[in-house]
Structure 1
Amino acid sequence: MRLSQASLWLSTLLVFGGCGGDDPSETPQLSEVTVTCTPSSVVAGQSAECTASAKDQDGQPFSVSSYAWTSTVSSVATVNTKGQVTTVTAGSTAIQASATASGVTRQGQATLTVTQVPEPLPTVHASNITSNETWLAANNPHLVRGQIALTGTPAPTLTLEKGVVIRFEADAELRVLQGAILAQGTQDAGIRMVLDPGAAGVKWRGLVFAHKDSVSQLEHVALSECGGASGAGGCIVIQDQAAPVLRDVTVQRSGTSGVLVAQDGSGFGASSARLNVSDSQGYAVRMGSNQADTLPTGGTFSGNQPNAIELRGNVARSQTWRHLGIPYDVPAQVDVSGTPTPTLTLSAGVVLRFGRASALAIGENGLGELVVDGTAAAPILFTADAAAPQPGHWYGVHLQPRTSSSTRLSHVTIEYAGAERPAGRAGRGNLNIYGNSAGGGARPILNNVIVQKSSHYGVFLQEDGAFGPGSALLTSRDNGGYAIALEGNFVGSIPQGGVFSGNAINAVEILYGGVRETQTWSNLGIPYVLNETLEVGSANSPKLTLTPGTELRFALDKALIVGQTRPGTLSAEGTATAPIRFVPNTETPARGHWRGLYFWQAEGSRLDYTVVTHGGALGNPGRGNVNIFRELGAFLTNSVLNDSLNCAVTRSGGGHTGSTPVTTDYTLSTYGNSFSGNESRQCAN
C-alpha cells in the first residue's frame, strides 16, 4: 500500500517537471525588412533620405544592429551607409537595405524615381553684336540663331564666361568681323559650343575669325557637330590675316575640315597650344605653307579623314615645321624662296606626303634654304600621298641654283618621285640638285640620306650641281634608273659610305662636261658609266685619281681624254687584287665599242694594275685602247690591254698638233703589261 502511493507521487512529479521549459517557436526572429525613401521621386541633383525597419515572425518590431545599403543602378543614384541618397541623372533605381540576425538575413527595397532637371529657356542670340557683351553661365544655354557677327565701331568684344554652353541651330555661325571673342574657360569649367538638339543630323557652320587686328582668344573651348557644308569650310575658320590664340581647344565631328586657315597670311596666334581635332570629315587642319610654323603643339589628332595637315602655297619666311604626330600633305608644289633667304627647317620625325604633280622646290623664285634635321631614332620621310604608292607619283625635291650652301639633309628618306615636271628644270630623281653652270649653285650637305623607288634617278645633279663638303652615307636603292647621275667635274663630291642596290641601272651616270678640278673618284661598289666623252684638263691642271677597284664603263664611241686642250693628270693605280677597269658599257662587247684612253698634256699620269678592253673605235687620232701623244715614260705598267679593234697601245710620232714623239716601248716585259685579242700590240700614229 505504501509502495503504490510513493510511485504515484513520483509519477506526478515527473509530469510536472517535463512541462517546466519554453517553446522555441515562440522566440522572436528576423523575418522582414521594410525600406522607405522620402521623397520617392526627386529631380536629378537633389537628395533623398531612406530609412529601414525590421519585424519578427509575429509582425512585431525587431531590433537589428545595422543595415547594409545599396543602389541597384548606381548611375542613377548612390546611397551611403546611413541611407542618404545622392542622385545623378534621370532614371529609376531600387534602394536596398539588408540586415542579419542569428544567422538570418533579410532584405527590403524601395523604388526611387529620378527625373531630369527642367530645361531652362535658352538665351537667344539672333542679331549682330555691335557693342561689348558678356555671355554668362548663369544664362545657359545660349542659343545662336542664324549667322551673326561681331561688327561695328568701336570694335566690340564678346566675353564668354567659363562654363558657358552655346547651342547653334542648323546652319548657324558666329563670325568676328571686328573686335574679338574672349572665351575664358578653365579645365574644370570649359566652354562648349554644340549643335542644338533640335537640329540633330545637320551641322552648324562654325566659328569664323576674319579680322586682322583681332585679339581673340579661345581657352578650354570645345566645338562639336560644326563645319556645315554651307559654311566657310571648317569648325574653326581663320582668314583675312587673322591670328586668334587657341589654347586647349577641341574640335570634334566636323562635317568638313577641323580647322581651315586661309592662304592670306592668316595663322594661329603666338602662345597657341594643345589643339585637339578628331573625327572630321576632312583634314584635321588645312592652311597655307607660309604660316605652318604657327600650328599649336602638344595636341592630338585622330579619326579625321584624312588624319593629316594639308599645306598649300609657297614659303617666303624662315620657319620650322614641327612633328605633330600626323603627316603634312602637300597636294601641289611648294617653293621655298624669297629675300632675305627664307629657311625651311623640318624637325625630327616629320612626314611629308606629296600628291600627284607636287614637288618641294628650294630657291625656285629667289634665294632659299632647306634644313632637314632627322635623327636615327626619328628620321624624316618624304613620300607619296597614296594608299598604294608607285614610283613616279610626284616630282621630287628640287634644289635650285640659288639654294643656300647651308642647306643640309640628315636622316631622311625620299621615295616614289621621278615624275617629269611640265616646266622648269627637268630632273627626274627623288632628289634633284642644280648648279648655275658657272661652277656654283646648290651644294647641299647630305648625311644618312636614303633615296628609293623613284621611277628614274635616285639623285640627279645638273648644271654644276654637287654634293656639299662633308656629305656621307648616301643610300640609293630600288630606283627605275641610275643610282646617281651628275657631271664629270662633280663626281668627286659623291658621299662615301653609302649603299647602292636594286636600281634598274646600278651605276653612276656621268652626264657630260669635263673634269676641271682635282678630285678622287672612289670605288663605290658600282661602276661609273660615261655616256659622253670626258676630258680631264683645265687651266688648273686638275688631277683625277681613281681608287683601286674602280670601274669606268664607256658608251658606244665615247672616250676619256687627258690634257688635249689644257693640261690634266689621270692617276689610276689599282692593285693586283683590285685593278681599275676601263671597259665597254655592254654585256656583249665587241672590239672597237669605244674609242679608248687618250693622253696629251698628261704629265704625272699613271696607269698601274688597270684593265683596258674593247677600245679602238674610229674618230680621234689613234685607234688603240691606250693612245699616247706625248712622251710620259713608264706610266703604263702591270696592265691588261685586250680586244682593241686596232692596237692595244698607239704611240704618237709627233705629227699631230700638240703632240711629241713617244718612244717608250710598253710591250717590254719590264713594264709587266699583257696583251690579248688586239689587232696588234703597239703601233705608231
Structure 2
Amino acid sequence: MKLKNFLMGMLFLAAFMTSCTKEDLLVNVTIKDDISTTTTWESGKVYVIRGSINVDNTTLTIEPGTRIEFETGASLQIGYLGNATLIANGTADKPITFTSNATSPSAGAWNGITFWSNNLNSSLKYCSIKYGGTSTKGAINVLGSNITFSHNIVQNALSYGITLDVNSEFIEMNNNTIENCGNHLIEIYAGKLHTIGVDNLFNCPDGKGINVNSDNVEGTVTWKKLSKPYYVEGEINLVNANLTIEPGSIFKFDNNGEFNVGYTSNCTLIANGTNTEKIVFTTSATSPTAGAWLGFFFWSNNLASSSMTNCEIAYAGKSSNSAVKLIGTSLTFSNNSVHHSGGKGLELDNSSFVAMSNNTFENNTLHAMELSATAINTIGTGNTFTCASGYGIDVNDGGISTPITWKKQTVPYYINVGIDINANLTIQEGTIMKFGSNGTIDVGYINNAVLTAVGSAANPIIFTSSATTPAAGAWEGIYLWDNSDNTIFNYCEFQYAGKGSSTTRAAIKSISSTYTVSNSKFKFSGGWGVNNDANTIFTNTNNTFESCNLGTVGSN
C-alpha cells in the first residue's frame, strides 16, 4: 500500500510539473516599496511591481535572465529624488524582460521606466520592454540625464517607444529593435540626434519614425541614416556646428519646419548624398502641397565649405519663401532636385556658388532661381530648369565689376533692374534675356568694359520683353558708353525695347562707343533700332530692322 501511495504521488507531481510553464516555476517577489539601498534582483525570480517605485540614492542591479512584471499603472522611477543608477544588462541568451503581468496584456498596460535628472549613467542591454508607456510618455523616458541603451527590444508601447527631453541623450544606442508603437518610435531633440547609434531596426507605419523637436545643434556631429524618416517639428539651428548628414537620410518637416545654418556663429553643413542614396528634405504632410514648410536658410556665418549634393528638397517655400536661400554666403550645390516650392526654388542675396551643376528645378511656384548679375557666373553646367510661363532665373542686382560669363540656360533670365557692366561680360549663344519695364544694360559707364554677345544662326542671343503681351517700348534697351569700345553683337535679336519719350530712345543707344552689330534683328522698338551720337564708330553688317517706331539707325 505504501508503495502504491508513493507511486501515485510521483505521478501527480510529474503531471503538475508537466502542466507548468517556466514562469510558473519561478519565485514571485512583489515590489511595493521604494528602493534606497543597494539592491540586486536575481535571475530565476519574477519581480512584480506594484505602484510607482522610486529608486533613489542607490544602485539597482538586475541580473541576466530576470523577469520584471508590472501591475496596471505601475512604473519604475530612477533618480527622481537622489542620485541613482539602474544596471539592467542581460545577455544574448539571457535577456532581461520588462512586461505586464496581465494575462492578455495590451499597449500601455504599465506606465514605463523614467530616468530623472539624478540618474547616473544607467544602462540597459539585452532587455525586452513590452506593453509600457502612457498616452503622452514612452515606455522609456529620459529627463535631464543620459543612458546606455543597446541590444534591446521595445515593443507595443502605447505612445512613444523612447522619449528624451532637451537635456538628455544616449551614451550608447546601438543594435536595438523598436516596433509596434502607437506614436513615433523615438522622441528626441535635434541637438542630441547624433547620439542615436548604428544597426538599429525601426518598424512603424508610414507617417511615423523619429520625432525631432526644435533645437540648436552644436559641435562636430553626424546624423546617421536610419531605416525610418526623421520627423522634424519647428526649427533646426546650427550654432558653432559642423554637421554631416549621411547619404540616404530622410527628413520630413512640419509646417513650421526650417533649417538655419550660420545665423549667429560659424557653421558648416555637409549634406552629400550619392546617386543611389539621396538625402531627402520634404514635408510630413499626408497630402503635400507646394510651400508646406519653410526651407533652408544659409546665413552670413555659414562657411564656404558647406555642401549639398545629391539631395532632394521638396514642398518647401512656405509663405512664398524660397526653398533654399543664401544670405551673404556661398555654397556648393550640385546634383540636387528642387521641386514644388511655394516660392522660388533657390535664392541668392549677395551670395554665390562655390560650385553649382547638374541640378534639376521643376514645379516651383515662382522663378527657379533668383540671384545677382555677378552670381550668374557661378551657375555651372548641366542644370535643368523647368518653369511655368513667365518664370525662369530672376536677376535681382545689376553690378558687374569682374570679368564673367552668362551661360545659356534652359529658361530665360528675367531682368527688371539696371545691369551696370564695368568689366568684360560674355553671353553664350542661345541665351534669352527678358526685361521688365525697369530693365536696362549699361556698358562701360564707369570703367572699361566689353560686352561680347555672339550667337549663331541656329541659336541667336535674344534681348526681349518679359511682358505677357509685349508692345513696342516695353523696356529701355542697351546703353553703350565711352568706355565700352570693342563691344560685339552677332546673331542677336532685340525686341520691344526703346522705352521712353526721348527722340534718341533705341534698342541700342551709343554714347562715344566703338562697336559692331552683325547678322542681328531689331524688332518692335519704341524708338530707333540703333541710335548713335556723333563720336560713335558703328559697324553695321547684315542686320534687319522691323517695325521700329522712329526708324532703323538714328544719329544725334
Shared fold (TM-score greater than 0.5)? yes
Give the superposition deviation at 1:513: 3.2
CA distance in 2, matches of 1:618, 1:325: 62
CA distance in 2, matches of 1:406, 1:212: 41
CA distance in 2, matches of 1:305, 1:386: 11
* CA RMSD, 1 decimal: 2.3
Q: Pick closer, same or farther for the CA change 1:253–1:115 going to 2, 3 Å.
A: closer
Aligned counterparts, 1:148-297, within 5 A: 148-152=53-57, 156-177=58-79, 178-197=83-102, 200-201=105-106, 203-211=109-117, 214-229=120-135, 233-240=137-144, 242-264=145-167, 266-270=168-172, 272-297=173-198
Structure with the bigger RCO (C-alpha within 8 Å, sep 6+) is 2
Residue 494 (structure 1) aligns with: 379
Q: Which runs of 5+ in 1 are unaligned?
A: 1-36, 47-86, 91-113, 421-426, 436-440, 654-660
- In structure 2, give the amino acid aligned to 1:684: S
Q: Which runs of 5+ in 2 are unaligned?
A: 1-7
- In structure 2, give the amino acid aligned to 1:157: T
Contact 1:523 1:547 (C-alpha < 8 Å) held by counterparts: yes
Give the superposition deviation at 1:253: 1.0
Residue 4 (structure 2) aligns with: none
CA distance in 2, matches of 1:258, 1:125: 24
Contact 1:221 1:250 (C-alpha < 8 Å) held by counterparts: yes
Aligned counterparts, 1:646-665, within 5 A: 646-653=527-534, 661-664=535-538
Aligned counterparts, 1:285-434, within 5 A: 285-303=186-204, 306-312=207-213, 313-338=215-240, 342-420=241-319, 428-434=321-327
Residue 5 (structure 2) aligns with: none
CA distance in 2, matches of 1:465, 1:43: 84
Corresponding position: 1:681 with 2:552: yes
CA distance in 2, matches of 1:166, 1:238: 20
CA distance in 1, matches of 2:169, 2:327: 33
Give the superposition deviation at 1:252: 0.9
Residue 564 (structure 1) aligns with: 445
- In structure 2, give the amino acid aligned to 1:593: A
Contact 1:554 1:594 (C-alpha < 8 Å) held by counterparts: yes
Give the superposition deviation at 1:218: 0.9
What SS is found at the alignment partner of 1:488?
A: coil
Residue 520 (structure 2) aligns with: 639
CA deviation profile, 1:535-587 (whole Å, cap 9, x unmatched): 112xxxx2111001111111124211112234432111112221111111134
User: Percent of pairs identical after alignment?
Assistant: 23
Give the superposition deviation at 1:257: 0.7
Aligned counterparts, 1:3-18, within 5 A: none
Bigger CA drift: 550-559 or 305-314? 305-314
CA distance in 2, matches of 1:158, 1:527: 70
- In structure 2, give the amino acid aligned to 1:196: N
Give the superposition deviation at 1:663: 4.2
Aligned residue among 362, 378, 381 for 1:477:
362
CA distance in 2, matches of 1:553, 1:579: 14
Residue 511 (structure 2) aligns with: 629
Residue 548 (structure 1) aligns with: 429
CA distance in 2, matches of 1:355, 1:511: 30
CA distance in 1, matches of 2:16, 2:339: 64
Residue 344 (structure 2) aligns with: 457
Give the superposition deviation at 1:115: 8.4
Q: Pick closer, same or farther for the CA change 1:284–1:673 going to 2, 3 Å.
A: same
Residue 104 (structure 1) aligns with: none
Contact 2:503 2:527 (C-alpha < 8 Å) held by counterparts: no
Aligned counterparts, 1:480-629, within 5 A: 480-503=365-388, 505-537=390-422, 542-600=423-481, 601-618=483-500, 622-629=504-511
TM (normalized to structure 2)?
Answer: 0.92
Contact 2:416 2:436 (C-alpha < 8 Å) held by counterparts: yes
**Rg larger in structure:** 1
CA distance in 2, matches of 1:572, 1:44: 100
Aligned residues: 542
Give the superposition deviation at 1:239: 1.7
Residue 6 (structure 1) aligns with: none
CA deviation profile, 1:363-421 (whole Å, cap 9, x unmatched): 1232221111211111111111011111010001111121110000111000101112x
Q: Pick closer, same or farther for the CA change 1:116–1:568 going to 2, 3 Å.
A: closer
Contact 2:40 2:60 (C-alpha < 8 Å) held by counterparts: yes
Contact 1:380 1:413 (C-alpha < 8 Å) held by counterparts: yes
Give the superposition deviation at 1:495: 2.8
Contact 2:434 2:464 (C-alpha < 8 Å) held by counterparts: yes
CA distance in 1, matches of 2:311, 2:104: 49
CA distance in 2, matches of 1:674, 1:622: 19
CA distance in 2, matches of 1:259, 1:574: 63
Give the superposition deviation at 1:120: 5.4
What SS is found at the alignment partner of 1:375?
A: coil
What SS is found at the alignment partner of 2:494?
A: strand
CA distance in 2, matches of 1:525, 1:587: 19
- In structure 1, give the amino acid aligned to 2:71: E
Contact 1:283 1:305 (C-alpha < 8 Å) held by counterparts: no
CA deviation profile, 1:626-658 (whole Å, cap 9, x unmatched): 11112314x2222212221221111023xxxxx
Corresponding position: 1:446 with 2:330: no
Give the superposition deviation at 1:213: 6.6
CA deviation profile, 1:573-617 (whole Å, cap 9, x unmatched): 112221111111134321111111111121332111111122111
Q: Pick closer, same or farther for the CA change 1:126–1:213 going to 2, 3 Å.
A: closer
What SS is found at the alignment partner of 1:180?
A: strand
